[in-house]
Amino acid sequence: MGIINQEKINDLSQRQDLGFEDALYLLRANKKVFRSGWKDLRYVALQRPDENSKMKRPYLFCVPLDHQPVPFTLSNGDLFAQDWQVFKE
């Protein structure tokens, strides 16, 4: 993974019109992201497996309203959307 720039993270965290490429940058910086139009999902996050994990590669998961994480697969709509933003708890 490349160098994470804190200034860029701060700038992106304030915006509400991010494309997925910026959302992925934020995910790699351990931020949670979401799309403004989502009604049934809270956020998406990146899981990096450790030595105790069954999964051996990083993957995205989402947390719906019931707080039970599930794997997340991007749709074409998600991939090309310009409404990603940082999830603030």
pLDDT tens-digit readout, 40-66: 999 999 999 988 888 899 999 999 999
Residue type, 21: E
Q: Is residue 1 in a domain? A: no
Distance CA 72, CA 45 (A): 9
Q: Is residue 80 in a domain? A: yes
Among the residues of 18-84, which ranges form H helices? Answer: 20-28, 76-80
Q: Is residue 58 in a domain? A: yes
Average pLDDT over residues 2-20: 89
Distance CA 21, CA 55 (A): 24
- pTM for this prediction: 0.88
Sign (positive or negative) of CA dihedral 1, 5, 79, 55: positive
Q: Is residue 76 in a domain? A: yes
Average pLDDT over residues 19-24: 97
Q: Is residue 44 in a domain? A: yes
- Structure tokens belonging to residue 72: 């997340």
Q: Is residue 70 in a domain? A: yes
Domains of the chain: total? 1
16 lies in which domain range?
Answer: 6-86
